[in-house]
Amino acid sequence: MKYLLIVLLVIVILVISVTLGAHNEQVVTFNFLVAKGDYTLSTLLAVLFGGGLVLGWLVSGLFYLRLRLRLGRAERQIKRLQQTDSSASANSSPVLTPSSNKE
């Protein structure tokens, strides 16, 4: 179900991009920091939108990867603590303390 929603979202984005591209054939001047170029508005919209989409996925992917690594470390630590706890309880015998005789 999750993948179906993602595919539908991508299809909707593509349809919107094609619709915008079909109606925007105007040439615009785009000023970079170091250069300047003349592009059709549809091409400029598609490139910038695609670049933003890829950049967003990369940033989200990095955060997701960082959280997965943290989760893996925490699970290993829990497993290690459970093993030491179970081995400590299996190896320990009841402690006998000397009773104080009041005679």
Look at 91 and 77; give whichever has higher pLDDT: 77
**pLDDT value of position 62:** 97
**pLDDT value of position 97:** 58
- How close are the terminal C-alpha atoms of the chain, in Å? 78
- At residue 76 the predicted structure's pLDDT band, cuts being 50, 70 and 90, is very high
Look at 47 and 70; give whichever has higher pLDDT: 70
**pLDDT value of position 89:** 75
Look at 25 and 65; give whichever has higher pLDDT: 65
pLDDT > 90? residue 55: yes
Radius of gyration (Cα) for the chain, nearest Å?
31
Look at 94 and 58; give whichever has higher pLDDT: 58
Q: What is the mean pLDDT of residues 40-49?
A: 83
DSSP single-letter state for residue 36: E
List, in sequence order, every residue forming a beta bridge with 38; answer none if it has no partner: 29
Q: pTM of whole model > 0.75?
A: no
